[in-house]
Amino acid sequence: MKLCMIGTGYVGLVSGVCFSDLGNDVICVDKDINKITNLKKGIIPIYEPGLEELVLKNYKNKRLNFSTNLKESVKKSDIIFICVGTPTKKKNNSADLSQVYSAGYEISKSINKYKIIINKSTVPVSTGDEIEKIISKKVKKKYFSVVSNPEFLREGEAIRDFIYPDRVVVGSNDSKSKKIIKNLYSPLISKGANYLSTSRRAAELIKYASNAFLATKITFINEIANLCEKTGIDVEDISIGIGLDKRIGGRFLRAGPAYGGSCFPKDTKAIVSTADKFKTNLSLIKSVIKSNNIRSNLLLKRLSLIMKNKIKNKKISFLGVTFKANTDDMRDSSSLKLIPYLSRKGANIRYYDPTGLKKEFKNLKNVKFSNSIHESIKDSDLIIIHTEWNDFKSINFKKYSKNKKLIIYDMRNIFSPNKIKNLGLKYYGIGR
Ligand code: UGA
């Protein structure tokens, strides 16, 4: 099939490349000329394991192309995916849909035969209805269908999540588009993916409800971790103990710093704002947002306790600054609160991240990027393990055990407390 992805951000690029790898002809469109020129040269704008290889392979065999010409790309395609950003509006926490609607309007000018417009951007319930209204101002209804097909890709795992999804959700209100989209996904369905066909509004809500539920699960275990710290219990035992109950499930029950990234913080706020619009109080999700927002303060309090309130001039090594491992994404990372606080308190911070130096810390006093784990942690008083890269899991602390005062604060619980303590070092984790 001939596909067009509007927006070559995370969702558009990964989905477009994966669809081309499944044998479709795909054009990825973006307004950003630089991005498109770079993609044609094989320069990928984001860090995502496996993406570069797939781009190069499919661009070479001409199933994948890149363009800034939306009009021509839409004309050539049977199915058009809207994959643009839906950031949070500052004034009321709702999702800013201007890019989605503007894409709908642009598409409406180029519909020359029946086309399916699929919205993949994360949007509030009823956005599909609005897109349909916008297009129907220019095009007769029989020439197009508007479908919702949310994505559930995790950064860092996106290719695998696309090829082996837990489920594919397609929300459409007409049978013609339903048949065509099911056919598009047939290579994944035949590999065992669950395929769920719903109304368009239901698909829109499934996406928000999924992210809100996962954020709730994480916040739940983070609060239980707070209790574990006060009661001498290891939260890892609790995660396993409750996760083995199939009704609960063990995934997304890892206590850690506050959840971050481009999705959970944004989508929890947006679902609350949508519900407010429909006069429904999502009190549970509101308290999840609140709990997550104050989590960094709790971590900072614990840090002060660990350091016996002596942070000034202490050498602190920060390992991993992105919102999680296997991504270069800094959005809503808790390091954005932790590092500036420690810098204000007079600490000397050296941070290391496998994805390199971060502009966010450029102007902070006494905060320097190190080129290696060793350079970052040597001579430290405190090492904070902030993300779960495999590179950190294999650090040989024995090498550093001469410094008996060295403290490890493992915010992802990747080390065994006893092993570290046996080296004579002090160990703190989350909820243990
Ligand atoms: C999330 C969802 O997992 C995807 O299904 C969804 O498609 C995506 O948002 C989106 O809406 O586009 P992502 O933001 O890439 O994916 O990251 P996650 O792996 O879900 O992690 C989110 C945050 O939760 C991170 O800060 C992570 O460290 C934290 N987390 C996750 C925990 O603290 N504990 C866990 O057990 C799992």
Token pair 């509006």 is at which residue?
89
Minimum-distance ligand 1 atom for the alpha carbon of 334: 26
Q: How far is the CA of 264 from the centre of ligand 1 (A)?
A: 7
Which residues on neighbouring strands pair with residue 4, listed in sequence order? 27, 80
User: What residue spans in the chain does CATH classification 3.40.50.720 cover?
Assistant: 2-198, 296-429
Residue of the nearest CA to atom 10 in ligand 1?
263
Tell me what pLDDT residue 56 has: 96
Tell me what pLDDT residue 235 has: 98
Tell me what pLDDT residue 402 has: 86
Q: Which residues line ligand 1 (CB under 6 A)?
A: 122, 151-155, 211, 214, 218, 252-254, 256, 259-261, 263-264, 323-324
Q: How far is the CA of 214 from the centre of ligand 1 (A)?
A: 8
To the nearest 10°, the Cα dihedral for 264, 265, 266, 272? 90
Strand ranges inside 129-288, DSSP E: 144-148, 167-171, 194-198
Q: Considering just the CA atoms, what is the radius of gyration of the chain in Å?
A: 24
Which residues on neighbouring strands pair with residue 315, listed in sequence order? 348
Token pair 């001469």 is at which residue?
402
Q: What is the pLDDT of residues 143-193, one digit of tens each?
A: 999 999 999 999 999 999 999 999 999 999 999 999 999 999 999 999 999
User: CATH assignment of 2-198, given 3.40.50.720, 3.30.450.20, 3.10.20.30, 3.90.1170.50?
Assistant: 3.40.50.720
- DSSP H or E segment with residue 385: strand 382-385
Is the pTM here over 0.85, yes or no?
A: yes
Minimum-distance ligand 1 atom for the alpha carbon of 215: 24
- The class (CATH top level) of 208-293 is mainly alpha
User: What residue spans in the chain does CATH classification 1.10.1040.10 cover?
Assistant: 208-293
- The class (CATH top level) of 296-429 is alpha beta
Q: Please, are residues 341 and 320 in contact by the beta-carbon 8 Å criterion? A: no
Q: How far is the CA of 145 from the centre of ligand 1 (A)?
A: 31
Run means of pLDDT, 10 residues per run, the chain, 432 residues: 96 97 98 97 94 97 97 97 93 92 97 97 96 97 97 96 97 97 97 97 98 98 98 98 98 97 95 95 98 96 95 97 96 97 97 97 96 96 97 92 91 96 95 97
The Cα 349–Cα 346 span in angstroms is: 9
Q: Please, are residues 86 and 262 in contact by the beta-carbon 8 Å criterion? A: no
Positions annotated as catalytic residues are 263
Q: Please, are residues 300 and 289 in contact by the beta-carbon 8 Å criterion? A: no
Tell me what pLDDT residue 90 has: 86
The Cα 329–Cα 331 span in angstroms is: 6
